[in-house]
Structure 1
Amino acid sequence: MTTLTKLRARVSPQAITKVTRIFNGTLDDIFAELFQNARRAGATRVAVTAEHLDDACLITVDDDGAGIADPIDLVSLGQSDWPGECRSREDPAGMGFFSLAGLDTVVSSTSAAGSFWLAIAGDAWTGEADIDVLPWDGPRGTAIAFHFPPGPDGKLERTVEAAARFFPLPVTYNGKDIARADFLADAYKIIERDGFRIGVFRDRHSPHVATLNFHGVTLKHAFPVIKEVHHTQWSVQVDIVDAPDLVLVLPARKEIYRNTALDHLVALCRRAIFSVIYAEPLHRLSFEDWLEARFYSDDFPQAARQLPLWSPSTAREDYRQVPAFADLEPGATIYDDTDSYDSVTFGRALRRSNGGEPHKLGGPDPRAFHEPITNFIGYPWYDALSCFIRTGECLTHDGDQAAASEPDALTQRPDAIRIELTDQHGNRLDVETDFVIQEGDDSWGDPDCAVIAVTRGSELDPNDLTDLIIDAVFSPSDDSDADSYDTQETRFRHDAAVRAHAILEGDDAAILAGIRMAFADRVAWRIPHGRKLQLTWSSSGNDLTLVVAGEGANQ
């Protein structure tokens, strides 16, 4: 057991033997690291050339920077000869050159301190062989040439283009200028602060898009995204200008190191988004996001006094498109339907009250109903609105009233139906209608189990009632062994139509309707054109005759 009382961390000399595994050794890594070194050296341009040999490609990266003062720093893992100002501003790790580890590499460099030329191959990368340093007579700057395995046609040029696209210096490939672009070119608004250019983007967020440009090295980081309620989604991308405290995780530099600088940047991004929203004509921030926005601006306005107009939902909807938002008018009210039975019932009541509008209540107490938006709870204007739910129905039979849920209430068609609504304050609102549907036992997928009432004086015809039943009850199965949607809908429509005819016209009409639909689906298409089928069928026998159309009129 050791008797030491103090220790100090150090790098084992054996670490250099694993240097070929520090980087993936891809061209993307190599160009990213060499380009960054050129930028730190104060270069004004970078030139990449490629010579395709029989079994390899000779690639050279040449810059006109300050050059390398001491060659020993070049091959010392974790050590660099960058000036003090560069080290304080960018925290260079002295590892970038080792992205070439394992490749036959030649370096020639001229600096104010002198010039040299050296070649590294094989064991020289792992410290197991000497590297000869030879004199060199060349212009100021550094040229690094290396052999790389040949790749598919065009891949090398595409890799150079990708590395140069957002790099701050001009880059050429075999003498041709490589196009560059502004990382924030498509931003809705660009805000410059604390060494960052923050681009705020409108409705253009994707986890597959790079969000940070670190002097040409682009990364995917999950910066803040703020989504307004059924409205704009705001996201950001960040272009680094001068941020010495924001550093990348070494050695690969594929993610941002979590420190106070990153926390500060995230806060700046949120502030930037809120500042853009503040300048918009209106917003639909959730109440929670609005409270945060007020930390940045005390006079941040509340969300626009708008809500989606209420419209009925159906049982078959897996996803429902939110209706268009509209300004709140006097009499604006919220209706919070609980299911498709409730929604279809209330929608019929509204259309009947005003002649067809799906969201307005006519009569002596006119109102415009809107959808509830729970994210708005907390805004004073939203909390002040009455929010009604359906709390009961009352059916009148010959002057006597009964609740629709009572077992005998639907044995005969009522004279009148009244839907009872109650808001969050206990206020009642009664709506007269001619139709109500409720969920009965096992009613999902079975129109015969739904509880339905239609007044005697209703103007609903069997087709209208069939559609109402379908909207309230039909929920197709998406199991892998289920029939197609069309087959399920057709079968359900037959059952719903039979139920509708039975309610409105009686049992005989329902039987005939079922036969008629079955005949139309399965038999009618077999009758030849210009012919007519005469059919008589009973338990005692049947008779089918094909005649020419127009014959047998008296039979």
Structure 2
Amino acid sequence: MIPATIATAVAPETIARVTRLFNNTAFDVVTELFQNARRAGALAVAVVIQTGGSDTLLHIADDGHGIADPASVVTLGRSGWSEETRRAEDPAGMGVFSLAGRDVIIRSYSRPDRQGWMAHIPASAWETSRPIAISSDPIASGTAITVRVPEAWLKSLEADIARAAKYYPLPVTLNGDMLPREDWLKDADHVEEWNGTRIGVFHKHPSHYSSRDGRLNFHGLTMPCDLPHVQEVDRGGHWIARVDIFDAPAIQLVLPARKEVVENDGIAGLRDAVKIAIYRAIEARGTHRLSAHDWREAAALGIPLPEAEPYLFAWTPPTADYHSSYETGERTADPAMVLMPDFEALVAQPAQAAIRAHNPFGGPLVEAQDAFRGYGWYDVLARVEDLRFRVIQGARSFIVSDAREAPAEAENGWVDAITLEATMSHAGASIEVACDADVAFAPDPWSCNSVEETSIFVRRDSGQTALGVADVFERAVFSSSDDSAADSYDTQQERFQADAAERIIGLLEGDDAALENRIRDKLSGYYFLVPEDRTVTVIVNRDRVEVTIAQRDPAAPTATDEQGAG
């Protein structure tokens, strides 16, 4: 029998805090009411936004089996759901309480009493527990709920309803128009079922997903979840999973908002199943770039995979400034390829020029990727273990490297010979190789690799120009400061280039050449001050500066002429 009145059945102090159990947003309320409709066996949900006058009303109606006992609506913790529903998803009787503190009208059909009923719950009634009158209503099935919309909801209300409907299993209309729905596992590379869930595996580029993205879908309610993923080596993608939960009682959600999972044996089992599903998806693809560790893990889980594809990327020397470092993406699968670890730019940059002229290693250099250790094809490759330069300067012979300074008596600048020396390991043996080099650098005593203190050596008969050496020096030494008080990147780089050019020109061409370069650099930004029909002559010494302006000789070549001639 339908009661004449009902009242909120919970302590008044709890009612005063009940809105804090939910985020109090339109999306949360709509989602909770959609879940109630689904549990009630509805086949469809209709949403109407009614505007007019000073109020906006939100109507949500379903065609489910209705609410048998009106008192269950306002009794916190009393769900009124069947034993089967309680077993499957623990509804907990909190759904309608997402409306606490709002002016609400509820109309529903009671199947046991074969009649409809209606309750108007004013906003104040939620906290006062005063009697709420129940009257008969002509509704013939399902439940219809009307809420007075607060101003804070208006801006995003339609978008919130569409978002709540996107992965919801029932069709939803808004003002008569069908809202779009999407399969939670759309575009999955692999799908399999496990204990009342559907696990979808996706192969993603690292930049195309976030750990904050939804991972679980509970009948349209999506949430993040820490699930296993497998990352391929090098520039490979990530294998991630999404899970569609449809009948998994062991996987429980934190009440009341159901926005995260409870850490229990159920979620632990799901994580194990996800890892297996990911490896099955990789198995179905046929090829992969997994680490040897992941490859062995797949085998331990009963999924034998082939070894990773046997290629590596061509070696490119790093620059001291990470902003300028790059990778070619050029794949190499030559069985004779040689592994090159990450050497510091100070030795890698001058070594690259020497290797280009004469590669002493017997095969193409590739970037070492030790995540592949354990694969047969990788473990048989030769590997460069050490790079260093032997410098001959007169009667002196010494070794420099990225960690080995030049002796104090060594002079920067021209030297008689430079040899790139390397130690290789292959098949358990150690091999020494060498080739001529044009340039070598050595760290300063404080390992700061500054323009002034880094040692610079250039082979006398190499044909290297001062500016060519300066280019290599910049790649080997320059690194911008990330200090917020430092100058801009461009300013730091320009200052470094000017200082490096001045020092290296002085070392290789003499002090006069360095001074000339410095003055040219200082004046180069002021060409625009000189009219096209004038020539400015500047004479500078420690005593005076003389400036002479004269008519320009029409026969004198212009900068444009010189560029064209070049």
* Residue of structure 2 aligned with 1:381, choices 377, 381, 402: 377
Amino acid in the other structure paired with 2:445 = D
Q: How many residues align?
A: 533
- 1:250 equivalent among 247, 255, 259: 255
Equivalence map 1:141-156=2 (5 Å): 141-150=142-151, 155-156=156-157
2:100 maps to amino acid: A
- What amino acid maps onto 1:237 in structure 2? R
Structure 1 stretches lacking a partner, 5+ long = 1-10, 354-360
Q: 1:70 to 1:423 in 2, by over 3 A?
A: same
3-state SS of paired residue (1:234)? strand
Q: Which amino acid aligns with 1:58?
A: L
Deviations 1:426-474 (A, max 9, x none): 4322232122111123574643322122112102122211211211122
Within-5 A mapping of 1:314-463 = 314-318=319-323, 320-353=325-358, 361=359, 366-397=362-393, 401-404=397-400, 405-410=406-411, 413-423=414-424, 426-441=430-445, 444=448, 446-463=450-467
Alpha carbons 2:39, 2:85 under 8 Å: kept: yes
CA distance in structure 2 between the aligned counterparts of 1:14 and 1:491, rounded to whole angstroms:
71
CA contact (8 A) 1:30 1:99 kept: yes
Is residue 291 of structure 2 the alignment partner of residue 286 of structure 1?
yes
Aligned to 1:83: 82
Structure 1 residues 510 and 18: CA distance shift in structure 2, 3 A: closer
| Aligned amino acid, residue 409 of structure 2 | D
Say whether residues 1:180 and 2:157 are aligned partners: no
CA contact 2:162–2:179 (8 Å) conserved in 1: yes
1:337/1:389 contact within 8 Å kept: no
**Cα deviation per residue 1:348-376 (whole Å; 9 max; x = unaligned)?**
211222xxxxxxx26xx532111222333
How do 1:17-416 and structure 2 match up within 5 A? 17-18=15-16, 20-21=18-19, 22-114=21-113, 115=115, 116-122=117-123, 124-126=125-127, 128-150=129-151, 155-201=156-202, 202-203=204-205, 204-229=208-233, 230-318=235-323, 320-353=325-358, 361=359, 366-397=362-393, 401-404=397-400, 405-410=406-411, 413-416=414-417
Give 1:93 shift. Answer: 0.8
Write out per-residue CA displacement over residues 258-295 of structure 1, whole angstroms, 9 at most, x where no aligned residue: 22121122222222222222233532222332232223
- 1:375-397 CA-to-partner distances (Å, cap 9, x unmatched) read 33343433332321435332235
What are the superposed Cα offsets for residues 125-180 of structure 1, whole Å, 9 maximum, x if unpaired? 34732233333443122222333334565633222222222111111223222222
Unaligned ranges ≥5, structure 2: 1-8, 401-405, 557-566
Amino acid at match of 2:93: G
Q: 1:473 aligns to what?
A: 477
* Counterpart amino acid of residue 56 in structure 1: D
Deviations 1:9-36 (A, max 9, x none): xx98567544633334432222212211
**TM, length-normalised to structure 2:** 0.85
Secondary structure of the corresponding residue to residue 132 of structure 1:
strand
Measured after TM superposition, the shift of residue 302 of structure 1 is 2.2
Please name the residue that 1:357 is paired with. Answer: none
Contact 2:22 2:98 in 1 (8 A): yes
One-letter code aligned to 1:241: F
Structure 2 CA distance for aligned equivalents of residues 285 and 339 of structure 1: 27
In 1: Cα distance, 2:293 partner to 2:255 partner: 37
**Residue 506 (structure 2) aligns with:** 502
**2:347–2:387 CA contact under 8 A, matched in 1:** no
Distance 1:80 1:412 in 2: 86
- Which moved further from structure 2: 314-323 or 233-242? 314-323
Q: Secondary structure at the match of 2:118?
A: strand
Q: What displacement does 1:250 show? A: 0.8
Indicate conservation of the 8 Å contact 2:26/2:160, yes or no.
Answer: yes
User: How far off its partner does 1:515 sit?
Assistant: 3.1
**Correspondence 1:507-546 to 2 at 5 A:** 507-521=511-525, 524-539=527-542, 543-546=546-549
Q: Which moved more, 1:461-470 or 1:409-418?
A: 409-418
CA distances 1:13-60 after superposition (whole Å, capped 9, x unpaired):
567544633334432222212211111111111122233353433332
Counterpart of 1:546 in structure 2: which amino acid?
A: I
In structure 1, how many angstroms separate the alpha carbons of the residues matched to 2:68 and 2:545? 109
> Partners of 1:62 and 1:412 in 2: how far apart?
86
Q: Is the 8 A contact 1:445 1:476 kept in 2?
A: no
In structure 1, give the amino acid aligned to 2:65.
A
Q: Do the aligned residues in 1 keep the contact of 2:214 with 2:225 (CA within 8 Å)?
A: yes
Percent identity for Structure 1 against Structure 2: 35
Deviations 1:521-552 (A, max 9, x none): 45x44333233334444456665433333399
- Checking the alignment, whether the CA contact within 8 Å between 1:107 and 1:119 is kept in structure 2 is yes
Deviation at 1:98, TM superposition (A): 1.4
Letter in 2 for 1:195: G
3-state SS of 1:477 partner? coil
